Amino acid sequence: MFISLSFYYRVCVHLYLHLHLHLPMSLHGSVYPEVLDVTFNAIGSEVATASADGTSRIYDAKTGRLKSKCEGHEGEISKVAYNYQGTRVLTAGIDKTARLWDPTNGECMQILRGHTEECIQCIFNFTPFCTK
């Protein structure tokens, strides 16, 4: 499975089946506003988008159904990332904040302030902490 963004900010999830047949699926509600970034969770069951309207939307990757909407940035979101467990989404916005979200309900868990310019990238560390 892979995701593509088209010129008109249309998000398509492509499902590859036997014989490399692909079935593009548009995510509901993602043609407008402009989608600027998109990512899968680690197991490929959800898709998160970053949009110009300051929202991040979480979709079911199989059905395209909107599961939750993360609202709170003051301006567009440039990047979106899942943590390895798929329990948190991190967004980077032009409002000089990064925000941590619960993808199940769209609740903002934490606002990371202190940037002097817009945030243009965000990523989780996928190296697990040493546990015994």
User: What is the model's pLDDT at position 35?
Assistant: 84
**Burial group, residue 80, by CB count within 10 angstroms (0-12, 13-18, 19+):** buried
Give domain 31-112's CATH number out of 3.90.420.10, 1.10.3720.10, 2.40.10.480, 3.90.550.10: 2.40.10.480
Q: How many CB atoms lie within 10 A of CB 54?
A: 19
Q: What is the pLDDT of residues 3-23, one digit of tens each?
A: 555 544 455 555 443 333 333
Q: Pairing state of beta strands 11-16 and 35-40?
A: unpaired
Q: What is the pLDDT of residues 9-64, one digit of tens each?
A: 455 555 443 333 333 455 545 445 688 888 999 898 999 999 999 999 999 888 88
For residue 76, the 8-state DSSP code is: -
Between 77 and 9, the more confident residue is: 77
Report the C-alpha gap between 126 and 73 in whole angstroms. Answer: 25
- Residue spans of the domains in the chain: they are 31-112
For residue 86, the 8-state DSSP code is: S
Report the C-alpha gap between 70 and 58 in whole angstroms. Answer: 8
